Amino acid sequence: MTANVADFAGTACGQRFEKELETHFRDCMLFYLDGRVRFERYCYGEAACLVFSVWGRGLDEDGSILWEKEPEFESQQTALPRVLTDVQEGGTALQFDGARKRYLLTESFEEDKANGYSKFKVWWLKRKKG
C-alpha cells in the first residue's frame, strides 16, 4: 500500500487517530504536516499518564512505519503498529498490521506545542509545502 503520512495530517498541523475498543490503554497515532508520525500510549484510570511514545519519519513504499528508535521493552515493541494495511471510511479509519481494531480519527489540531509544532512552525511548514 502506497501512502504518505501527510495524507493523514489533514490541512492544519496534524490529526490524532485513537485505537478503538481499548480498555487498558489509550493508543494514539499522530500524523503531522511535515510527514512525521508519533505513537503514544497512555494508561487509563485515576493515575492516567503517558506510558511511552515513539517518533517515526514516515512510511516507506510498502506502508511500513519508519520508527526512529525502537522502544527498550518487549511489551512496548509489540504495541507499536508496524505496517499500514488498510485505509477505510475516506481516511478516517486506519488499520495496521491487519489487526481487527482500527485507529479512528478523533481530532484535528492547529498546533502541538508539546511536540514542537508551534503556530509559527506550522505556518512555515505550510508555506514551504505550498
Instruction: Give pLDDT, residue 87.
Output: 93
**If DSSP codes are grouped into helix, strand and coil, which group holds residue 44?**
coil
Residues 74-114 have pLDDT tens digits of 999 999 999 999 999 998 999 999 999 999 999 999 999 99
Q: DSSP class of residue 62?
A: T
Instruction: Give pLDDT, residue 5.
Output: 76
Q: Report whether pLDDT(1) > 60.
A: no
Residues 24-47 have pLDDT tens digits of 899 999 999 999 999 999 998 777
How confident is residue 130, by pLDDT bands cut at 50, 70 and 90?
Answer: low
Compute the average pLDDT of residues 57-63.
Answer: 91
What are the chain's domains?
A: 5-129 (2.40.128)
Instruction: Give pLDDT, residue 92.
Output: 94
Sheet strands (E) in the chain? 14-19, 25-32, 37-43, 50-59, 65-67, 84-88, 93-96, 103-109
Instruction: Give pLDDT, residue 48.
Output: 82
